[in-house]
Amino acid sequence: MATQTESESSGGGVLMRDRLVKRVGEVAAGGFVLAIGGLLAWILSTQVDYDLLASPLIARRFAEAFFLVIQIVVISSLLSVSLGVLVGLGRISTSNVTGRIAKGYVEFFRGTPLLFQLFVIYFGVPRLWATGEFPFTDWAIPAAIIGLTLNHGAYVGEAIRGGIDAVPNGQMEAARSLGMSRVMALRQVVLPQAWRNALAAIGNDQIILVKDTSLLTVIAVPEIMSVFRNINSNQLDPWTPLVWVCVLYLAITMSMSQLVNGLERRSDWGSDSRMFGRLSGLGSGDDDGGEET
C-alpha cells in the first residue's frame, strides 16, 4: 500500500491520472457495497421469516447436513491432498510411463465435469455388478468421497507439480552434489519447498472442494443444498433457508482459509531466500540498506 505513493514523484499528468483512477475505483467499490448492502438489508427485513429461521426443526436438519458435509470434506481433503502429492510426483517422474499416466489422469479429471464423474461412480459403477450383488447398500456417501477425491486429486497434483517446478534447479544440484540420491533430495530438500510454493493453490482448491459438496444433492447425499430444497418446497419460502445455507458454507470455507493462512505462516522461513538465490548479487535486505544496485 505504501509503495503506491512512489508514483507521486513522477510527472504531474501521470499523477492526475493515477489519482483519478483511484477515485473512480473508490466510488465504484463504495457504490457496489451500498447497493448490495441495501438489497441485503431489504431482503433480511422483508423476506426472511425469523420464527422459521430459529425453529428447532430446520436448525436440527441443517445441523445434521452441516456435520455430514464436514465429515465428507475432511475425508476427501485428506485423501485428495495425499493423492495429489502422488500425482505431482508422477508428473515429474523421470519414468516416461509414470509421467504419461499422471498426465492422462489429470487431463481426464480436470477435463470432465465433476457432476459427470459423480454420475459415473454413483449410477454407473453399481451396474457393473449383477442385480442385488453390489456390496454397498448406501453407496451415495462413498461415491461422493471417491468422486471428490479423484477430481480434486488432479487439481492438487497440478499445484504440487507447479510448486516443484518453482524450486530452483540449484536446490536439487546442491543436494545431489552432497551425495544424496534423487529420491532423498526430493524428500529432504525439494518437496518441503514445493509444498510451501503450492500451499496457496492447494488451499484454494480445497475451498472449491467444500463448495463442490453442493453438487452431491443430485446423488442423494443429504447435504446442505438438499435440506434447502426440501424446506423450500415444503414452506414455499426460499430466503429463510438460504440464510442458513450461506452461513454454513461460509463457516467452513472461512475456517479453511484461516487454516491455510496458518500453514503458510508456519512455513515462512525468514525473507525469501529462493528469490535471493535466483537473482543473487542483490545482497540481503538488511545489508544493503538504501543502496541501489
Partner 1 sequence: MTGPLVEFDGVDKSFGDTQVLYDVDVDVDEGEVVVVIGPSGSGKSTLLRCANRLEEIQGGDIRLDGRSVIETDVNEIRQQIGMVFQSFNLFPHKTALENVALAPEKVKGEPEAEAKRAASDLLDRVGLADQAESYPGALSGGQQQRVAIARALAMEPRVMLFDEVTSALDPELVGEVLDVIEGLAADGMTMVLVTHEMGFAREVGDRIVLMADGRVVERTETRSFFDEPSTERGQQFLSRLL
Asked if 200 interacts with partner 1 (CB under 8 A), we say: no
The sign of the torsion formed by the CA atoms of 53, 57, 61, 63 equals positive
For residue 42, state whether it binds partner 1 (rule: CB under 8 A): no
Copy the grid coordinates of residue 269. 522461513
Report DSSP state, residue 78.
H
User: Cβ 288 to partner 1, closest distance in Å?
Assistant: 7
Let me know: does 176 contact 182? Beta carbons within 8 Å: yes
Cα separation, 148 vs 164, in Å, equals: 24
The verdict on 176 binding partner 1 (CB under 8 A) reads yes
When binding is defined by CB under 8 A, the residue of 102, 196, 199, 213 that contacts partner 1 is 196
Query: At its nearest, how many Å lie between partner 1 and the CB of residue 200?
Result: 17
Q: Applying CB under 8 A, which part among 13-21, 41-49, 115-123, 285-293 lies near partner 1?
A: 285-293
Q: How far is the CB of 203 from partner 1 (least distance, A)?
A: 19
Could you say whether residue 181 binds partner 1 (CB under 8 A)? yes
Query: What is the phi-psi region of residue 55: left when phi exceeds 0, alpha when psi lies from -120 to 50, beta otherwise?
Result: beta
* DSSP sequence for 126-145: GGGSPTT--S-SS-HHHHHH
What are the two backbone dihedrals, phi and then psi, of residue 153, each rounded to the nearest 5 degrees?
A: -60, -35
Q: Which of 53, 174, 220, 252 binds partner 1 (CB under 8 A)?
A: 174
Q: Report the site for partner 1 in 111-170 (rule: CB under 8 A).
A: 168, 170
Question: By CB under 8 A, is residue 262 in contact with partner 1?
Answer: no
Minimum CB separation from partner 1 for residue 190, in Å? 10
Count CB neighbours of 281 within 10 A: 6
Figure out which of the listed residues 57, 103, 173, 215 binds partner 1, where binding follows CB under 8 A. 173
On the CB side of 77, CA atoms within 13 Å amount to 22
Q: Does 281 bind partner 1 (CB under 8 A)?
A: yes
Helix (H, G, I), strand (E, B) or coil at 220: coil
Residue numbers at the binding site for partner 1 (CB under 8 A): 168, 170-171, 173-181, 184, 188-189, 192-193, 196, 267, 269-274, 276-278, 280-281, 283-284, 286-288, 293
